[in-house]
Amino acid sequence: MSFTHLRPDVGVLFVQGADAVSFVDGLSTNLIPTESGNSLRTVFTDRAAKVIAASTVMVRDQGLVLLVHRDAFTTLLEHLQPRRLGQQVTIVDLTDRNHVVYETGGKGPDEGTWHTENGVTSARVHADLCIHVIAGNAAPNLKENEEAWTAWRIANRWPEDGVEITSKHHPYACGLESLVHENKGCYLGQEVLTRMRSRGKTGWVLVQGRTEDLPKERITTELDGEALAIVRTHEVQ
């Protein structure tokens, strides 16, 4: 089922300057491409590999657009700003001039790319999910569609900011393992994540299943008998 979901809880940052790509690449888990037109998701982590923020990134000629949940917005800015020292990087908050909408199904760019058409910038971050950034001060005539979004998240084991994605967890624990590039080094938290992966000891993992089959105290999201839960790796059958 296709649906749209207005996301007033997602902010927009623009990281610009000659060092924008290397700056973000050196502070997050995924490999940031340099060529305009690419999009991807990445995770900003601290030295202990705990999540600061998950972000959708769109690479432009002038810099990088970062989509960040409001729960982590201020914390991420406080993390990034002091690390600009000596680099040609400026960070601009464009949240008030843009609106973010999630759409499942429908038309859009290929996965891993973005394009702009009629004032709407769209990035496909999953085979069945596009994120649209709509320019303008007036909010689009769309509604939040929380129940449909929750059902989609559970079916696709997609973690949500402030629910599964929190500062208590590292990326492997909250369903963001695909955003940790295995051959990338030299970013905050990299040594910890590499050690976890090489030893096969991530501790926790996000799973999807029937509510009745999951430990009640581990469930993070539940709807109509289906759920997501963060469980100990030894609890996974």
Tens digits of per-residue pLDDT, 46-63?
Answer: 999 999 999 999 999 999
Q: What confidence score (pLDDT) does residue 234 get? A: 86
**CATH number of the domain encompassing residue 102:** 3.30.1360.120
Give the number of domains in the chain: 1
pLDDT of 109 higher than 90: yes
Bridge partner list, 219: 229
Q: Which two tokens stand for residue 33?
A: 């491409």
Q: What confidence score (pLDDT) does residue 139 get? A: 74
Q: What confidence score (pLDDT) does residue 141 get? A: 84
Q: Which domain holds residue 149?
A: 4-235
Tens digits of per-residue pLDDT, 154-171?
Answer: 999 999 999 999 999 999
pTM higher than 0.85 = yes
